[in-house]
């Protein structure tokens, strides 16, 4: 019996070794095995110039998450807010200067975006090993991926070689980032304007499977929905009363937090979609995905197939990470510090 039990893994190990060898033999003579380029970017961009990059980023994200689990969500959102505003070029990381008002104080980011300090400290470590080699935007793209993987979500390959931009714009951030109060059609249009589509929008919204939102981002659903004097009728009643306890009408500060996915708060899974199907989506913009037949059918698919969600989320993150990248030396630089241009 014992022998039989053990012989299966042995057979599989042999098979894996054989298949792997065949793969290596096939790949070896191919030049693209060494030059893993991906358009203007490349998967092995820093392999020679900063071989410890991957390890430093992983360590930095891991220690940040160990102290504050929510930081995974915050890093993912920061990468989204970087890429969605004038492209992935690290603009979200820049402080205001006398020449421009940056994105940190734009409405969607002010008192809301987090993780700048984590990126800054990873950058400091990277500079010690490989000074002036690795851009801040690439560090953020890698950190977002590590954060999702460490939260139980999918891995996606991050091609590298983006340069940091030279400016940032508060106006662009206010105009280009989606608001939880605008209709689905408007949010869709913002994704399309970035070369993303409806499917990308639905699957990337699944990022709201982790992290938190402040009361003011959903409070009008709780007491006075669209001037009706009543709560949003689409909200599950027990979920509604929990939220009314978290965000009482009398609390005017509205900065308390509610989990975007109240069922599995810190776990990157497909529960977000299950929630919106049973009317426990937190933001209006989350719940709106069930209100349109096209997006509703995707929500249904992702709610019932966690592998499909993981696969499609990874693919859309790759697309997100390539929006408006800068690779020409004249238009960008490798910042020495992430919060200011050189
Ligand atoms: C579809 C349109 C979207 C809207 C309207 C939206 C809106 C919001 C809002 C209002 C919050 C709460 C912010 C706060 O209260 O401080 C939030 C949090 C978050 N968003 Fe989105 N978002 C959208 C898409 C995305 C996408 C595409 C991603 C990433 C791929 C993302 C990732 C996150 C994460 C992870 C959080 C939690 C952050 C934390 O806890 O620090 N969101 N979003
Ligand atoms: C740990 O996380 C808390 C927030 O939960 C934050 O205020 C604090 O600065 C973090 N500490 C370190 C060392 O990052
Ligand atoms: C949605 O987009 C339309 C057309 O661009 C615009 O007129 C309208 O003000 C937007 N609605 C909201 C709530 O942002
Ligand atoms: C909503 O869905 C979640 C996840 O499947 C489930 O655990 C929860 O009990 C549901 N809530 C309601 C009110 O149906």
- Give 172-223 pLDDT, tens digit per residue: 999 999 999 999 999 999 999 999 999 999 999 999 999 999 999 999 999 9
Q: Between these two residues, 18 and 81, which has the higher pLDDT value?
A: 81
Query: Which residue intervals of the chain bear CATH 1.10.420.10?
Result: 184-317
Name the active-site residue from 23, 79, 81, 208: 81
CA 252 / ligand 4 centre spacing (Å): 30
Count Cβ atoms within 10 A of the Cβ of residue 333 and give its class: 0-12 exposed, 13-18 middle, 19 or more buried: middle
Residue 334 phi, psi (nearest 5): -100, 105
Q: How confident is the model at residue 152 (pLDDT cuts 50, 70, 90)?
A: very high
For residue 220, what are its two tokens? 């009008």
Q: What is the pLDDT of residues 9-64, one digit of tens each?
A: 444 444 444 444 444 444 444 444 556 888 899 999 999 999 999 999 999 999 99
For residue 23, what are its two tokens? 């793969």
Residue whose token pair is 């400091």: 124
Please report how the helices 293-304 and 198-205 are oriented relative to each other, as an axis angle in degrees rounded to 10: 50
Please identify, by atom number, the ligand 2 atom nearest to the C-alpha of residue 64: 14
Distance CA 70, CA 58 (A): 16
Q: How confident is the model at residue 328 (pLDDT cuts 50, 70, 90)?
A: confident
Query: Which residue intervals of the chain bear CATH 1.10.520.10?
Result: 5-176
Length of the chain: 342
**Pocket of ligand 3 contains residue 182 by CB under 6 Å:** yes
Is the Cα dihedral 333, 43, 65, 74 positive or negative?
positive
Distance CA 67, CA 150 (A): 13
> Ligand nearest 226 Cα, by number?
3
What are the pocket residues of ligand 4 if the criterion is a CB atom closer than 6 Å to any ligand atom?
A: 236, 238, 263, 271, 274-275, 278, 280
Distance CA 303, CA 202 (A): 12
Q: What is the pLDDT of residues 240-287, one digit of tens each?
A: 999 999 999 999 999 999 999 999 999 999 999 999 999 999 999 999
Tell me if the domain spanning 184-317 has CATH number 1.10.420.10. yes
pTM score, whole prediction: 0.91
For residue 66, what are its two tokens? 């160990």
For residue 2, what are its two tokens? 């014992």
DSSP state of 41: E
Distance CA 102, CA 341 (A): 12
| pLDDT at position 289 | 98
Please identify, by atom number, the ligand 4 atom nearest to the C-alpha of residue 280: 1
> Ligand nearest 212 Cα, by number?
1
**Pocket of ligand 2 contains residue 68 by CB under 6 Å:** yes
Among 26, 326, 42, residue whose Cα is nearest residue 157: 42
Q: Which CATH number fits domain 5-176: 1.10.1060.10, 3.55.50.30, 1.10.520.10, 2.60.40.1930?
A: 1.10.520.10
Q: What is the pLDDT of residues 306-322, one digit of tens each?
A: 999 999 999 999 999 99
Say if residues 125 and 133 touch (Cβ distance below 8 Å).
no
CA 186 / ligand 3 centre spacing (Å): 6
DSSP state of 216: G
Instruction: Mark whether 79 is an active-site residue.
Output: no
Contacts with 242 (C-beta within 8 Å, 6 or more apart), sequence order: 262
């Amino acid at each position: 019996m014992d022998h039989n039990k053990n012989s299966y893994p042995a057979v599989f190990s042999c098979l894996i070794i054989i298949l792997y060898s065949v793969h290596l033999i096939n790949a070896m003579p191919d030049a693209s095995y060494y030059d893993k380029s991906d358009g203007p970017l490349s998967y092995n961009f820093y392999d020679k110039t900063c071989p410890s990059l991957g390890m430093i980023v992983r360590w930095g994200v891991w220690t940040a998450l160990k102290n504050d689990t929510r930081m995974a969500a915050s890093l993912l959102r920061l990468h989204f807010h970087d890429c969605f505003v004038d492209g992935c070029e690290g603009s979200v990381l820049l402080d205001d200067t006398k020449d421009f008002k940056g994105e940190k104080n734009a409405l969607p980011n002010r008192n809301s975006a987090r993780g700048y300090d984590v990126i800054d400290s990873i950058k400091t470590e990277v500079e010690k090993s490989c000074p002036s080699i690795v851009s801040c935007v690439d560090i953020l793209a890698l950190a977002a991926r590590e954060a999702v993987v460490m939260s139980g979500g999918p891995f996606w390959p991050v091609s590298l070689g983006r340069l940091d931009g030279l400016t940032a714009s508060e106006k662009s951030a206010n105009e280009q980032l989606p608001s939880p109060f605008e209709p689905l059609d408007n949010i869709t249009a913002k994704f399309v304007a970035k070369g993303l589509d409806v499917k990308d929008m639905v699957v990337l919204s699944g990022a709201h499977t982790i992290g938190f939102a402040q009361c003011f981002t959903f409070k009008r659903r709780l007491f006075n929905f669209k001037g009706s004097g009543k709560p949003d009728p689409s909200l599950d009643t027990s979920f509604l009363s929990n939220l009314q306890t978290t965000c009482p009408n009398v609390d005017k500060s509205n900065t308390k937090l509610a989990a975007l996915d109240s069922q599995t708060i810190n776990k990157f899974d497909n529960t977000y979609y299950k929630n919106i199907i049973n009317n426990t989506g937190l933001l209006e913009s989350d719940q709106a995905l069930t209100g349109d037949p096209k997006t509703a059918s995707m929500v249904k698919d992702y709610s019932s197939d966690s592998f499909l969600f993981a696969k499609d989320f990874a693919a859309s993150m790759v697309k997100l990470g390539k929006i408006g990248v800068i690779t020409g030396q004249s238009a960008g630089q490798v910042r020495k510090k992430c919060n200011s241009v050189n």
